Amino acid sequence: MAPPSRPNEAAIGTLDGKVAVITGASKGIGKATALAFAAAGAKVVLAARTREDVERVAAYLKDSGAEALAVPTDVTDVEAVQRLMQRTLEVYHRLDILVNNAGSGRFGTVVDFAPGDWDRVLDSNLKGVYLCAKYALPPMLAQRSGQIINVLSVAAKVTFEASSAYCAAKAGALALTKVLAAEVRQQNIRVTAILPGSVHTPFWDDIPEHPDFEKMLKPEHVAETVLSVCQQPLGVVIEEIVVTPPLGIL
C-alpha cells in the first residue's frame, strides 16, 4: 500500500524567495517574525519609524546571510506607506506577504484619556493596517497571489478597563480584516487575523501596571504562529488564530 500523502505537499514549509513586508519589525513580535521569516528563506522588508532600529535588524539579518531591506516607515503616513511598497517592488520586484504588526498601546479611563492619545492609538493600530493593506494589494492582485497577516490582540474581542482606544482599535482592525478577506479571496489572496494574549516585549516598557512577564508569551511564540500561517498549503485559509499563554489571557 502506498504511504499516505499530504495535499499540495510542494506548497508546504518553505518561504524560499518569498518577499515579506513586516511592519513594526524593529522590536518585539515584528522583529522575531522577521528573524523567523528570514530563517525560512524569505526576503524580508523591515518597516518601523526609528531608522537606526530597523537598520540594525536588517544588518543583523544580512550578516547572517539573509536578504533584508530596511525602509523606515510610519504606517500612519500615506506617503510613507506608498514609499514602503514602491521600494519593496524596486528592490525585489514582487510582494508576497504583508505582516501588519506595527501598533502601540496607551491606556487610561475615558475621562482621563487625552484626545491626542486616542488618535495615536487608533492611527497606529487601525489606520496603519488599512493603509498598508491598501498599498500592498495592487501588486498582489496583479500577481493573483498574496497573504496578509494582521497581528491584532485578544483586545479585539475581550474588553479591559482603561483600554477604550486600544480595544476599539483592535476590534476595528478585526472587522477590517474580515471585510478585506471577503474582498480579495476570489483573487487568491489569503487574509488572517492573529490575536495574541500578553507577550513579553518592549510594548510594556512604559506601562507601570502589567501582568507578570514570566507568565506571558515570548515574541518568538507569536512569530512561529505567523510563520505557520504562511506555511499552509495554498488550498488552506486560516481566518483567525487566538494565541495565549498557558494560563490564558493575563
Active site residues: 166
HSE on the CB side for 173, CA within 13 Å?
Answer: 37
> From CA 206, how far away is CA 189, in angstroms rounded?
37
CA 213 from centre of chain: 22
By CB under 6 A, is residue 153 in contact with ligand NAP? yes
Q: Is 139 in the site for ligand NAP (CB under 6 A)?
A: no
d(CA 193, CA 180): 11
Closest of 187, 80, 175 to residue 131, by C-alpha: 80
Which residues, numbered 155-194, are part of the site for ligand NAP (CB under 6 A)? none
Cβ proximity to ligand NAP, 128 vs 139, nearer residue: 128
Alpha carbons 80 and 5: distance in angstroms, whole number: 45
> Distance between CA atoms of 171 and 158, rounded to whole angstroms?
9
Size of the site for ligand NAP (CB under 6 A): 32
Residues 140, 151, 171, 180: which binds ligand NAP (CB under 6 A)? Answer: 151
Q: What's the min distance (Å) between Cβ of 226 and ligand NAP?
A: 10
| C-alpha cell belonging to residue 220 | 518568538
| Closest C-alpha among 228, 173, 164, 218 to residue 195 | 173
Site map for ligand NAP, 20-59, x if CB under 6 A?
---xx-xxxxx-----------------xxx--x------
Q: How far is the CB of 11 from ligand NAP (least distance, A)?
A: 27
Q: Going along 118-185, which residue ranges are E strands? A: 146-151
Site string for ligand NAP, 191-230 (x = CB under 6 A): -----x-xx-xxx---------------x-----------
Nearer to ligand NAP, 145 or 240 (CB): 240
- Which among 220, 232, 79 has a CA at the least distance from the CA of 149? 232
Q: Which stretch binds ligand NAP (CB under 6 A): 89-97, 109-117, 120-128, 234-242?
A: 120-128
| Closer to ligand NAP by Cβ: residue 16 or 79 | 79
- Interface ranges with ligand NAP (CB under 6 A): 23-24, 26-30, 48-50, 53, 73-76, 101-105, 124-125, 128, 151, 153, 196, 198-199, 201-203, 219
